[in-house]
Amino acid sequence: MLFADDVAIITRTRAEAEHRLELWRHDLERRGMRVSRKKTEYLCTGGGQKEEGTIRIGDVQVNRVKDFKYLGSTVPDKVKGKLHKLMVRPAMLYGLETVPLTKPQERKLEVAEMRMMRYEVGVARLDKTKNETTREILGIERYGEKIRESRLNEARLKKA
């Protein structure tokens, strides 16, 4: 029997997750594969963490976990912060060294980045976690400071 693993189903509600999981299970079993009901786990992030209830595959309850694991290893928050710095920030900062940003535009970029960081850590705005706490967990400085730093570096390169 073949097994399918390392699949992510992303939904907004527990009921939707259960429905999609059941569709996924049905499609796999129709093709001769099988979902391991004992090994399947689910993780809630953001505002969905407080949602009550369980997720089931058929008649088996799926275990809920607090940490994301891949190949048996938990991905720590500092690694998430490093990935954020290496992939998300450069994409957001691309070309902004030469564009005069207004304060409202800078604020919008900071808000967008903060939403991404809260998602990475698994906290919702309703959890009342301070932004600075989230930044500290991931080891990421404020967005505006990074933009100013990039502009200063660009100006130094032009003088040299």
Segment 64-122, tens digit of pLDDT? 877 766 555 566 777 888 888 888 888 887 877 677 888 898 889 889 999 999 988 88
Please tell me the distance from the alpha carbon of residue 44 to that of residue 92, in angstroms, as a whole number.
Answer: 26
Neighbours of 22 (CB within 10 A): 15
- Domain residues for the domain of 33 are 2-73
Same domain (yes/no): 100, 148: yes
Ramachandran area for residue 95 (φ above 0: left; ψ -120 to 50: alpha; else beta): left
Instruction: State which of 40, 73, 106 marks the end of a domain.
Output: 73
Please tell me the distance from the alpha carbon of residue 153 to that of residue 131, in angstroms, as a whole number.
Answer: 27
- Give how many domains the chain has, as a whole number: 2
Average pLDDT (139-151) is: 77
Contact assessment for residue 69 and residue 125, using Cβ atoms and an 8 Å cutoff: no
pLDDT of amino acid 96: 74
Q: What is the pTM of this model?
A: 0.49
Segment 19-57, tens digit of pLDDT? 988 888 888 888 888 888 778 888 776 554 455 668 888
Instruction: State which of 36, 54, 73 marks the end of a domain.
Output: 73
Please tell me the distance from the alpha carbon of residue 61 to that of residue 48, in angstroms, as a whole number.
Answer: 18
